[in-house]
Amino acid sequence: MATSYEAEVYDLMQYFHRAVFEPSLRSVIRLEGHIDENILKKAVTLSTDTIPMIRCCFVEDQGGLYWLDKGFTGEDMVYVVEAGCDYNEQKTKLLATSIDIYREPQLKIFILREKQADTLLFILNHMVSDGAGLKEYLYLLSDIYTKCKNGENIPKPPFVSRSVKPLFSTFGPLAKIRILLAKYDFNKHIKPLDLGLEGEKTSPILTSLQIPPQEFALLKAWSKKNGFSLNDVIFTAFVRVLSKETGQTRVVVPCPVDLRKYLAADQRKSITNLTSQFICDIPVKEADSFITTVSELSRQMKLQKNSTACLKPVLQFSLLSGLLPLSALPKVFNSLFTIPFVSFSNLGLVDSNRLRFADLNIGEMYIGGAVRYAPYFQVTATSYQGACTLACNFYGTSADKIKIDRFLNGLKEELKLALT
């Protein structure tokens, strides 16, 4: 009899998100050379001992929602594709590949092979993990690959809990009551923001823009000198471009927060979803300088970082999911969570010392979010080897592509203005 795994609280939350985006994360890793696809397949197979959901199908039946282990291996998840004459178009089509969560493994890896180089294209079901967890999976996979390549013994990696229970076990009863009584109403604060994107469900737009190391180093130095986090600075640029594109002088947007900081140190590398949202309500007048906007945004972020209020909807849903029948949970979810029309996610720094496929150099690496349907829109930021890549995944028209490129270029220009 096949092994099954309980669908955790965040699995359910991501499952209910499916109405507004194709729920998969993407990552691009460009190698300076060719990877050994057979060793990569072996490494993928071994990695599923740590995160068995990858080799499962998701099941919804009278027994509820759960993962069913189908025994998928790397042979079922890794594909070699020879690059044609239009590399970029081919890359976009492969990255836009969806996952049938009910019939397929929850991970696909395409090796887009050129004469002298490979580009690894990862598609991971968002129900399995968030962006921070995907980074941890890539570290795990590359480490296993390297050990296999070097002929080293590979101990069976431990399975790390994906439950929210460790998250809340660090809080006592009174602390949990304070969380539940906190003033945090995401649904009331977040208002629709429309960028005027048309949308086209059969035409994926997966675009990215890099801030080169020299420019990004100046930005990091400026942030440190002025007492702001790098995330605050990039997020401010996003808010200011959003204000210009929509004409709104008050921008209310969420900022994802990684809840792993509340876990014990040995549990922070978990491959799962552990994200909530801060709420930023930022006035942006035409005459406001960048420093004016970032100062207000930073003030709001510091207040929220010192609070546990962002845990409130997660704790509420966790408690109610254990009390109510499955049929009631979508309604509960919709009452607690709003999927914002427009969002920004800084996936942070990818550690080049932990992401190494044996002796292969990595020329470029970034992580992108799920492919959104109009009017939903998201920009992600990933830092790797001194550069920062801004990415947007969207189903849209050629006119939408122009708007998205303009938005990303505007974001980059705002960051340049911060330095002047």
Same fold, 4-149 and 189-350+366-418: yes
Domain ranges of the chain: 4-149, 189-350+366-418
Collect the ranges in the chain with pLDDT lower than 50: none
Q: What is the pLDDT of residue 341?
A: 86
Could you tell me which CATH number the domain at 189-350+366-418 has?
3.30.559.30
Q: What is the pLDDT of residue 17?
A: 81
Query: DSSP of 338-384, one letter per residue?
Result: ---SEEEEEEEEE-TTT--BTTB-EEEEEEE-PEEPTT-EEEEEEEE
* Residue tagged 């420019």 (tokens): 215
Query: DSSP of 52-96, one letter per residue?
Result: GGGGEEEEEETTEEEEEE----GGGTEEEEE--S-HHHHHHHHHT
Q: What is the pLDDT of residue 186?
A: 63
Give the tens place of pLDDT for each residue, 176-192: 999 999 988 766 566 66
Classified as helix, coil or strand, 389 is strand
Give the tens place of pLDDT for each residue, 309-333: 999 999 999 999 989 998 899 999 9
The CATH superfamily label for domain 4-149 reads Chloramphenicol acetyltransferase-like domain (3.30.559.10)
Q: What is the pLDDT of residue 316?
A: 95
Beta carbons within 8 Å of 280's beta carbon, 6+ residues apart? 235, 239, 251, 252, 253, 254, 255, 297, 300, 301
Indicate if the alpha-carbon torsion angle 354, 357, 358, 363 is positive or negative: negative
Give the tens place of pLDDT for each residue, 259-302: 999 888 878 888 999 999 998 999 999 899 999 999 999 999 99
Q: What is the pLDDT of residue 1?
A: 72
Give the tens place of pLDDT for each residue, 58-75: 999 887 899 999 999 999
Query: DSSP of 177-223, one letter per residue?
Result: HHHHTS---HHHH-----------TT-EEEEEEEE-HHHHHHHHHHH
CB 267 within 8 A of CB 160: yes
How many Å apart are CA 23 and CA 223, to the nearest integer?
33
**Distance from the first to the final alpha carbon of the chain:** 65
